[in-house]
Structure 1
Amino acid sequence: MANYSSQRVQEYINDDKHQIKSELTGKKLGSTALRHIFQGEIKANTSGIVVAQGLHSLVEQPNNVKIMKTIEKLDKNGVYIVKLAMTDLTTGKIYTKRSTMFPHTWSKQRIIYEIESVLPAITIFPATTSSSYCVLKKTSSNGIPLNIIFQNGLPLSAYPTWKKNRKYDFD
């Protein structure tokens, strides 16, 4: 379990902007990352192809998203993988994608807390171009491996890593 006091967690949960108090981390997820994680988006990828992106929690499952099937069942951390369909509300076109999902028992605040609690341990050096991306791997206080995507030193998204359940885990 994490090393944070219940008072600080409660302060975080009561914060209507869904951001960790600055004395806990000093780094926060922006609105772009939150939208990507909780609502998903339809936009051009780095190759210029329009695709569905994001949606790593069903806490705020938007009307334009339908879970088609579960691809991988819950791992030992409660992470799972789904195939989903996302409808572009402007064009009506449906895009499908695989998505790794945070545990369904986690609230929005819990997901944000787990991601933001690892951000202070990450140092990103300033990027020289506007398209500089990097993906860093960190483990949440709950033991879930996270992939955190940065652009120009700022967190752009984060998602959990699904791990096959094994009798012996050597990682």
Structure 2
Amino acid sequence: MTKLTLVRGDITRRRVDAIVNAANSSLLGGGGVDGAIHRAGGPEILAECRALRASHHGGGLPTGRAVATTAGRLPARWVIHTVGPVYREDGGDPELLASCYRESLRVADGLGARTVAFPAISTGVYRWPMDDAARIAVETVRGARTAVEEVVFVLFDERAYEAFARQVG
């Protein structure tokens, strides 16, 4: 069974095998977690993302999918980029959000990663309600078939931490 750990802080400082990036579909950087990872990791991450766009993902990475690149200057070995769904007034597709976690763990398994750090995917500018996002994240990771030994949810603020803590129990 995968161990779940919660920490408050900056995901770009985590010493893990893989850091998950809540990316946008362009894979070319953005705001929030995505921008922080690109800034801290340096140009190597962007160069590999551009190469992915030029080859397999010319139209961008689809929502719920995941791909890996180098971690550049980050203290991790890899960055796993996943595109979360946008929550709209009429709701969102929880299966797409769950897919972000499952696909990221599948990519981590392919890399041989044993420790993976996740942010609270889709809860920033994509507006997914924090309590629901935490429930989906924790249930999905707990139910995933993976060789990853530890998942660290790295939560930026106290509100996110508390929402995830209620789900982890």
Instruction: Choose between structure 1 and 2: higher strand proportion.
Output: 1
* TM-score, scaled to structure 1: 0.25
* TM-score, scaled to structure 2: 0.25
- Structure whose alpha-carbon radius of gyration is higher: 1
Structure with higher RCO (Cα < 8 A, 6+ apart): 2
